[in-house]
Structure 1
């Protein structure tokens, strides 16, 4: 290869690389954040009462409204969630990115009110919900939208005389999670689902009689590279980042990749995600 050919090919390779980089930037900022994935999971356990066969739970998490995620996008998400016809809706933290800087309005409450699930709508605090003096604002917003807070507490989901326990923890970074307190009213025979914003709490949760932990917080890493995986995750989401994990003989953890973005407005090889969980009694 002569010098002229070498320079020509090198320049061509450089221009191609720059073009791909520009294309990847556009894709990561403008396209992938809008490519919602619906991940379907089946949970089978002998402790699930027969009356809850085909019972559908939908989880959404980490919308981070205000940081490149708008009420118009939330409106579309609400429509998609209702289209799944869930029996139960769960939100696992971080509704707004910066509560102290967000333009709070009634439209947000109206959209959250529109979410429909006959067995109820429940939520837990994330670190961004407590941050920015948001604790009381978030409580009032969800309360007005007919969501029930689970903060180191539990409720009994009942159907045709049978039930299971749904519990929730306070946020680990800016709150005071108490696993024992959250499940103190469960009986030995109760199938138990625990909501915890931070997935790495599973290493502590496994010491308690909990069957399923449902979490968010990690954003799945938000930017993932081939052969490398995620580049960064926040504290308490460094071990369990995305998907399903068998933590112990009893405990299974599901980590949702979230809806919005934070810190950087990009998603790459890590689409926004809804989870649906269908219960089955074995």
Structure 2
């Protein structure tokens, strides 16, 4: 009898544990200070949403949207894998995006899963119709009080171009002295981003390593293999900072372990 009780308690514990690990959204806040940040953009808050993979966080994505709203974003960056190629449900993810665009300007780059659906044009059209800035190997300028910074986006390499070539296309008309923010799905391309002297890069893709080992880090990530280097947080290479979101949803591996879904808040400050 005791053995059955122990088994029952263990099963209940595992159900609760897995539910929390895959549905409890946390907010990770980072402050970035640099003399390169234009003074007019001091205090600008960027909220990064990544790797939703058609996951559901409450009715009409209410829990996710509330977390983003509470972060008081000036802009929202969506850094790929908004949908999942294994269970494509664009409408489910658009439920969140429709509400994001009411909170702030939204900028988006695709990930490998959008490419794998073979529905990139459909996704781009749906997002553009909502007012989302689709950053397909292009850049745009934000201006405050006569000062400027550039937001850049590059597509996933599965689209058939080298990342370096896409960056060259996107940055062709940006003055070298201008502060730059890049949306690029894959963190394993960090050396390329650094070589192009980008100031801050926002990536996802690694899912935090899927299973995080306390005191060690992520276990496995696409494009990086076992014990990947770039899974979560901030990384530095010369003058470039890489922001890697653990993301929100799952794909081939259905569960996160010690790896809560995450949105990132990144606040710029002039040093």
**1:3 aligned partner:** none
Q: Secondary structure, in 3 states, of the residue corresponding to 2:157? A: coil
**1:239 aligned partner:** 229
Is 1:32 the counterpart of 2:18? The answer is no
Q: What displacement does 1:48 show?
A: 1.1
2: CA distance, partners of 1:227 / 1:120: 37
Query: Comparing 26-35 with 90-99, which one deviates more in the overlay?
Result: 26-35
Give the one of 235, 241, 244 matched to 1:255: 244
Query: Comparing 169-178 with 143-152, which one deviates more in the overlay?
Result: 169-178
**1:156 aligned partner:** 141
Q: Map Cα deviations across residues 55-110 of structure 1 (whole Å, 9 max, x no partner).
A: 11111000000xx53673623212221222211111000111127x53444x7545
Is 1:53 the counterpart of 2:42? The answer is yes
**1:171 aligned partner:** 156
Q: Secondary structure, in 3 states, of the residue corresponding to 1:173? A: helix
Larger Rg: 1
Whether the 8 Å CA contact 2:83–2:93 is kept in 1: the answer is no
Q: What displacement does 1:21 show?
A: 6.6
**1:136 aligned partner:** 121
**TM-score, length-scaled by structure 1:** 0.84
1:1-282 to 2 correspondence within 5 Å? 22=11, 25-65=14-54, 69=56, 72=59, 74-98=61-85, 101-105=87-91, 109=94, 111-116=96-101, 120-176=105-161, 177=163, 178-235=166-223, 238-248=228-238, 250-282=239-271
Whether the 8 Å CA contact 1:152–1:167 is kept in 2: the answer is yes
Q: What displacement does 1:119 show?
A: 6.2
Q: Secondary structure, in 3 states, of the residue corresponding to 1:38? A: strand
**TM-score, length-scaled by structure 2:** 0.87
Name structure 2 gaps, 5 residues minimum.
none
1: CA distance, partners of 2:187 / 2:121: 24
Whether the 8 Å CA contact 2:49–2:264 is kept in 1: the answer is yes
Whether the 8 Å CA contact 1:28–1:266 is kept in 2: the answer is no
Aligned length: 265
Whether the 8 Å CA contact 1:98–1:132 is kept in 2: the answer is yes
1: CA distance, partners of 2:51 / 2:156: 13
Whether the 8 Å CA contact 1:85–1:117 is kept in 2: the answer is no
2: CA distance, partners of 1:281 / 1:98: 40
Whether the 8 Å CA contact 2:137–2:152 is kept in 1: the answer is yes
Q: Secondary structure, in 3 states, of the residue corresponding to 1:43? A: strand
Q: Secondary structure, in 3 states, of the residue corresponding to 2:122? A: helix
Kindly indicate which of the two structures has a greater share of residues assigned to strand: 2
Name structure 1 gaps, 5 residues minimum.
1-10
1: CA distance, partners of 2:25 / 2:41: 27
Whether the 8 Å CA contact 2:60–2:95 is kept in 1: the answer is no
Whether the 8 Å CA contact 1:93–1:127 is kept in 2: the answer is yes
2: CA distance, partners of 1:70 / 1:153: 31
